[in-house]
A and B are shown apart, each in its own frame.
Chain A
Amino acid sequence: MRTRESAVKAAVDKHGKERKNLLPILQEVKRFKNYLTRGDISDIAAEMNLSSAYVYGVASFYHFLDLEERGQNIIWICKTISCYMKGSKDILQALEEALKIKVGETTSDGKFTLLQTNCIGWCHKGPAMLINDEPYTELTPDKVLDIIDSYYKKL
């Protein structure tokens, strides 16, 4: 089984120890658990001969380098005005009800984390959201429930 430590080692070996590779390494290690742990950050720092505080500072700058525990899937709902005008609030509400969590929380089964994000570039097809890397557009409350269902079926 792949361990966390080996994931760090593999990512650093793949990209190289130079500082310029820090972002790709953080991105890759993040995929292991869908977020970055304290141990991940300090191990990456040690491997790359950087200070832990520095790597933490870099990681905390970027929205998608999650530093808090996340579920297997992360839902990012666009909160920009164009999606808002198309009813993103209703989508959020539908998801909160369906998943029985609030924004920022993770479902008790660990399947989903519900978050908001800034413009994801689908303003003409709002409301829009990302689940992990996949964009979903022109959402309706019914449609998001189907999407969530499809993920439960996939799991």
Chain B
Amino acid sequence: MAKRKLKRVDLIFSQDCSCKDILTEALKKSREEIIQELIDSGLKGRGGAGFPTGLKWKMAAAEKSNRKYVICNADEGEPGTFKDREILDRVALKVLGGMALCAYVIDAREGFIYLRHEYRFLIPKLEKMMETFHKWMDDFDLDFRVKLFIGSGAYVCGEETSLIESMEGKRGEPRNKPPYPTNQGYLGKPTVVNNVETLVYTMMIMRIGADEFKGMGIEGSSGSKLFSVSGDTHKPGIYEIEMGMTLEDFVKEFGDGDTKAVQVGGASGFCVPRKRFKETTIGFQGGLKGFSLPTGGSMMIFNSSRSMYNVLHNYLEFFEEESCGQCTPCRVGCQQLLKGIEAIKRGEKSYRYLNDLLRLSETMKLTAKCGLGQSVANSFASIVENFREEMIY
């Protein structure tokens, strides 16, 4: 398994190059060149799902339509994640730059930033940045305008088709796929939905080039990414780190010396116990079975004073509330997992019932309609399997 030493990077928040200059240079390139550069860079979506960004733009660019849209997904709701807020607060122009780049590539004239309700306090600042940005668009003679769309509080709207539904004035419920948004997105038109951080990286790749970006990280997980570090740590905050670090290195840097487990990727991510720190790398490869974990960047550290039952209980309450409720496995499954661990804790159900619940979580992973329902099993199975005794006693 490839891995990297933990290495801090300073791309996203660096102020050493003007955003406008990056755009000026980038817009001299052809659409195909930009797409190719993104594909060569190996950039994958930084929201958590990890879809190759260049490919997404390529698909939308290939669609024939009189209208296309670029949407910046700023509905950051994964527990333990706060990087997008920090980006929008500090380098919003880079995000807008990434949107312009995408608009140029796919030929869109309208873009939206879907900002979660909880970040409303950013609106005045963002509006100011958008004003500057729109002046640039005039300077570049690029017919592209960005509007703000404010969410109203629904975690599932981070899922791109829910987000689109929500923008169309509906309940934010995930759609059946296919069709994918690049084919039929907002108002039925081809739409690229990219995470805030992803858009910034497209700009950074324009600045440093695909080779340098790919030079960072590991095979399949190139570049760097922002990590939101919280929990039992002496230095909580946002850190930009090269992909491919081991959890051992991470805990050495950020842990409090008594780290029992790290939850990688928030409530929908995986819980890694101490005995696995060494063999676990952070990147897109693998998944549940392997030892490398995808992540939207949420890193919650728990020391030995913490009850993993409480942690899981908290996550399940979260899912039970935030499931959109339309599909059976997620709506009922979340309730059953929550009620199930409570019943075992109270002694009303035998410890063997944990096995039924594990099977149920596997069914949810296989059959739920969207990523939310499918990923409940990640935290459930990884916490229950590694901390079984804490669930029972």
A-side interface residues toward B, CB under 8 Å? 18-24, 26-27, 57-58, 61-65, 79-82, 84-85, 117-126, 130, 133-135
Contacts and interface: CB of A to CB of B under 8 A. Distances in A.
A125 B236 contact: yes
Given A63-B154, A124-B230, A119 B171 contact: no
B166 to A, nearest CB: 6
Contacts of A27: 150, 152
A77 B155 CA distance: 16
Interface residues of B, number: 50
What 9 A-B pairs have minimum CB-CB distances, sorted nearest first? A63-B153, A22-B169, A124-B236, A62-B152, A123-B230, A64-B153, A19-B169, A133-B120, A121-B82
A105 B229 CA distance: 33
A95 B300 CA distance: 27
Interface of B: 76-82, 84-85, 116-121, 149-155, 166-172, 187, 228-232, 236-238, 298, 300, 302, 306, 310-311, 314-315, 318, 321-322, 324
Contacts of A117: 118, 153
Given A20-B168, A85-B231, A123-B298, 11 more contacts: A18-B169, A19-B169, A20-B167, A20-B187, A23-B149, A61-B324, A65-B152, A81-B79, A121-B76, A123-B300, A134-B121
Contacts of B302: 85
A124 B237 contact: yes
Contact of A119 (B80, B169, B187, B238): B80
A85 B233 CA distance: 11
B119 A24 contact: no
B326 to A, nearest CB: 11
Nearest to A133: B120
Contact of B121 (A82, A84, A123, A133): A133
Contact of B117 (A58, A64, A80, A85): A64
Given A80-B80, A82-B230, A123-B228, A57 B171 contact: yes
